[in-house]
Amino acid sequence: MLAMLVRQERLLQFDVFNSDIALEIGLRLVRAARARNQAITVDITRHGQRLFYHAMNGTPADHAHWIWRKSNLVKRTGHSSYHVHTQVTVGGGSIHAIPTLDPRQFAALGGAFPLTIRGSGVAGTITVAGLPGAEDHALVVGVLREYLKVDEML
pLDDT digits (tens, 9 = 90+) for 63-105: 999 999 999 999 999 999 999 999 998 888 777 778 788 889 9
pLDDT tens for 25-61 read 999 999 999 999 999 999 999 999 999 999 999 999 9
Query: Is residue 154 in some structural domain?
Result: no
pLDDT for res 91: 80
* Beta-strand pair 49-55/112-117: unpaired
Range of the domain at 125: 2-148
Q: Give the SS3 label for residue 122.
A: strand
CA distance 70 to 148: 23
Helix H or strand E segment including 43: strand 41-46
| Phi, psi dihedral angles at 35 (to 5 degrees) | -65, -25
Query: Is residue 153 in some structural domain?
Result: no
Query: Is residue 78 in some structural domain?
Result: yes
What's the total number of domains in the chain?
Answer: 1
Nearest to 141 by CA among 29, 35, 2, 65: 29
pLDDT for res 100: 80
> Residue 89 is part of a domain; what is its CATH number?
3.30.450.150
pLDDT for res 154: 60
CA distance 124 to 47: 6
Q: What angle do CA 142, 110, 16 make, to 5 degrees?
A: 50
- pTM over cut 0.85: yes
Average of pLDDT values for 116-138? 97
Nearest to 115 by CA among 76, 73, 154, 79: 79
